[in-house]
Structure 1
Amino acid sequence: MRPLTAHVDLDALRHNYRLARDLAPQSQALAVLKADAYGHGALACAKALEELAPAFAVACLEEAVVLREGGIRTPIVLLEGIFTPDELVLVDELGLWMAVHSDWQVQALLQFTPRRPIPVWLKVDSGMHRLGFRPEEAASVWRQLSAAPTHATNLHLMSHFATADRLDDAYFQRQMTCLDALAVELKAPLCLANSPATLAWPMAHGAWNRPGVMLYGSDPLEAPNAASQRLAPVMSLRSEIIAVRELAQGEPVGYGGRWRASRPSRIAVVACGYGDGYDRHAVDGTPVLVEGRRCALSGKVSMDMLTVDITQVPEATIGSEVVLWGCAQSGETLGIDEVAGYCDTISYTLLTGVLPRVPRRYHGGFC
């Protein structure tokens, strides 16, 4: 079989969840499993965390259905709520919690007759300017929902930070000031802290936090701190060398001949390409581990293959292990955040971009 495989370390996933929980001991931590658990496999990750996490979070109803059909009974929050009123039937049937960010969602809920009240998280636009009620609207909506206890229950305020990953905290502080004032006015519990706020801003730790990408071992902070340095990589994207080419000085490799050998060179052809989700924007010099040693991408990424300069690894040959990110079997590690930097992107896009044709292999068992 084609050697490219995404290895998922469930022990590392649990380690990262415990770190998120321990950083905010007065908060409960949602485990965010949207986008198929950031490409790691939502059902497998949910099973690994169901004895630890009091609730999960997904983006939409379809993602929640996958978990429920897979046997997950843990509460699940729909972070974007419903998209049409008729989805409320399944929200009620599956026992889901839901965010509301628009008036039509509130009215649909109030016109629906659930079998039991639905836990509702009211989203406030405190400065992200995507979803949510304006702060001056939120109090009246909160009171409207509070006055309908047969429809809505367990109300929380939630919002999203635009700049919690940055060292400059001015805008973050502006959002916090707005949310703190609203929480005091309404005597409302808060769910605010995403991964960077969980790692770096204890003032944002509320009744609930919602760590996402940090669960999968990626550091979302502009500059690492002591907490983020304790994160363990969860996905290791591994392949093998499938061919070796000997090139003379000046010879090119790949489409457009972008890379040319500056000396006599050995070039490894690796079974991985943009058709698997590896970023085509990766530049020459993007790090790759070959037999546990750092080598450099050389030439444009193709759909099914990429090429790496292995001149300095004479023992590398057909069948040698190649790690695109994550941990080599020998223990060396290549951080996904470093790879993302060479692709002018972020780890989120690399992780969620690993396509279904790449098999996932799970290690560490379930709780």
Structure 2
Amino acid sequence: MVITTATATIDLSALVDNFTKIKSLAPESKVLAVLKANAYGHGLERIARSLPQADAFGVARIDEALALRADGIVKPIVLLEGFFEPQNLPVLAVNNLQTIVHNEQQLNAICNAQLDRPLKVWLKIDTGMHRLGIDARDFPRYYQQLSQSKNIQQPIILMSHLGCADDNNNADTDNQVRLFEQTIAGTNNECSLANSAAIINYPESHYQWIRPGLLLYGVSPLPEENETITVNPVMTLQSSVIAIRHISAGETVGYGATWKSDKATKIGVIAIGYGDGYPRHAENGTPILLNGRRVPLVGRVSMDMITVELGINSMDKVGDVATLWGNGLAVEEIARYSTTIPYELLCNITRRVQMTLK
């Protein structure tokens, strides 16, 4: 009998296949592959090395970019939140890192800096999401200052971010695209607007650069009823059954006695819990794949264990491997049972989960 603890298997061939499918949707666009949050939990350096086809990589923080450079990644790397302090600018220049500019402080810092070499800049315009980005009315001033600065490598790239692209019939997205077009009218710069959902739903937003994130990792960014592309899960999360218990009708399972059996049955205990990143708020009935069938989660998720109902006549045994999400069980479904989104589940995988490559 071999007992394995929580293990996330990363299928790099699925990653490459997903990239190819994404590229087929926007064949004329370059690809900025989004690797923030440890490549959505899949391993930052590992994923970067496996995507030589990408034209650039996007990360959220400077330490992620430096980790890629330390690993020998030489492709362009873009800081999607920009730099946080003027002291970061020489580091960006030395390491050939590109940055987004989205506020006045960044504009002033980059134009006034003393740099040995100019930086490549992406100017982010707020077209309606109201998170990061300059007001569209301020675009001419920012564009002029960045275009005339000796610290800026020309030409700059123009971008925005869509807030409702997962809905293929949303007026807000149409309005954002229209405002972006109006704002950049008269320029001839490369542009970027499309995230994973927009790559599928809004071809008119592809421009010269697309920015796939979730879609790369084999997770649809669209509601289940609107899925139009099939991608393959890159991560499959599994663990072993470590105990099987017989319980009688009326007996409860787990903390708080939140689940009571209405019949005699068997309970399987699986070595995974919220300490590994499995969602604590997964509801009773959340499916787990075991020996070719779906069995329901019963009782509260513990730090290190979950319990599932196997059925009185089940033949499962200690050591059998259960799939929590991945091949055969979409992480999107687990997210719905946990009242969250797939992004959170993938990013919450903890350090104690073993990572293996397929």
Which band: TM-score by shorter chain? Answer: over 0.9
Residue 127 of structure 1 corresponds to which residue in structure 2?
128
Rounded to whole Å, the distance in 2 between the matches of 1:169 and 1:140 is 31
Rounded to whole Å, the distance in 2 between the matches of 1:113 and 1:30 is 28
> Is the contact between residue 5 and residue 238 of structure 1 (CA under 8 Å) also seen in structure 2?
yes
> Is the contact between residue 10 and residue 42 of structure 2 (CA under 8 Å) also seen in structure 1?
yes
- Partner SS state of residue 242, structure 2: strand
Rounded to whole Å, the distance in 1 between the matches of 2:122 and 2:312 is 55
Q: Given the superposition, is the C-alpha separation of residues 223 and 169 from structure 1 closer, same or farther in structure 2, using an over 3 Å criterion?
A: farther
Rounded to whole Å, the distance in 1 between the matches of 2:122 and 2:343 is 25
1:149, distance to aligned residue in structure 2 (A): 4.2
Residue 85 of structure 2 corresponds to which residue in structure 1?
84
Query: 1:355 aligned to 2:350?
Result: yes
Rounded to whole Å, the distance in 2 between the matches of 1:335 and 1:318 is 25
- Within 5 Å, which residues of 2 pair with 1:72-151? 72-151=73-152
Rounded to whole Å, the distance in 2 between the matches of 1:28 and 1:313 is 55
1:185, distance to aligned residue in structure 2 (A): 3.0
Give unpaired runs (5+ residues) of structure 2. Answer: none
Amino acid at match of 2:85: T
Residue 160 of structure 1 corresponds to which residue in structure 2?
161
Amino acid at match of 2:129: M
> Is the contact between residue 192 and residue 209 of structure 1 (CA under 8 Å) also seen in structure 2?
yes
Residue 330 of structure 1 corresponds to which residue in structure 2?
none
> Is the contact between residue 220 and residue 227 of structure 2 (CA under 8 Å) also seen in structure 1?
no
Query: 1:33 aligned to 2:35?
Result: yes
Rounded to whole Å, the distance in 1 between the matches of 2:91 and 2:151 is 17
Residue 190 of structure 1 corresponds to which residue in structure 2?
191
- Partner SS state of residue 119, structure 1: strand
- Within 5 Å, which residues of 2 pair with 1:11-30? 11-30=13-32
> Is the contact between residue 31 and residue 54 of structure 2 (CA under 8 Å) also seen in structure 1?
yes
1:7 to 9, 12, 35: 9
Rounded to whole Å, the distance in 2 between the matches of 1:36 and 1:17 is 18
Rounded to whole Å, the distance in 2 between the matches of 1:111 and 1:312 is 73
1:277, distance to aligned residue in structure 2 (A): 0.5
- Partner SS state of residue 240, structure 2: strand
Aligned length: 356
- Partner SS state of residue 124, structure 1: strand
Amino acid at match of 1:240: S
What do the CA deviations read for 1:32-88 (whole angstroms, capped 9, x no partner)?
A: 000000000010000001x21111000010110111111111110000110001011
- Within 5 Å, which residues of 2 pair with 1:330-341? 333-341=328-336
Residue 217 of structure 2 corresponds to which residue in structure 1?
216
Residue 345 of structure 1 corresponds to which residue in structure 2?
340
> Is the contact between residue 337 and residue 346 of structure 1 (CA under 8 Å) also seen in structure 2?
yes
Residue 238 of structure 2 corresponds to which residue in structure 1?
238
Residue 308 of structure 1 corresponds to which residue in structure 2?
308
Q: TM (normalized to structure 2)?
A: 0.97
Q: TM (normalized to structure 1)?
A: 0.94
Rounded to whole Å, the distance in 2 between the matches of 1:248 and 1:161 is 53
1:225, distance to aligned residue in structure 2 (A): 4.5
Give unpaired runs (5+ residues) of structure 1. Answer: 328-332
When the two chains are superposed, the root-mean-square deviation of aligned CA atoms in Å is 1.3
Q: Given the superposition, is the C-alpha separation of residues 313 and 88 from structure 1 closer, same or farther in structure 2, using an over 3 Å criterion?
A: farther
Residue 294 of structure 2 corresponds to which residue in structure 1?
294
Rounded to whole Å, the distance in 2 between the matches of 1:213 and 1:41 is 14
- Partner SS state of residue 192, structure 1: strand
Q: Given the superposition, is the C-alpha separation of residues 300 and 226 from structure 1 closer, same or farther in structure 2, using an over 3 Å criterion?
A: closer
Amino acid at match of 1:105: Q
1:93, distance to aligned residue in structure 2 (A): 0.8
> Is the contact between residue 264 and residue 312 of structure 2 (CA under 8 Å) also seen in structure 1?
no
> Is the contact between residue 126 and residue 175 of structure 1 (CA under 8 Å) also seen in structure 2?
yes
Residue 172 of structure 1 corresponds to which residue in structure 2?
173
Amino acid at match of 1:291: N
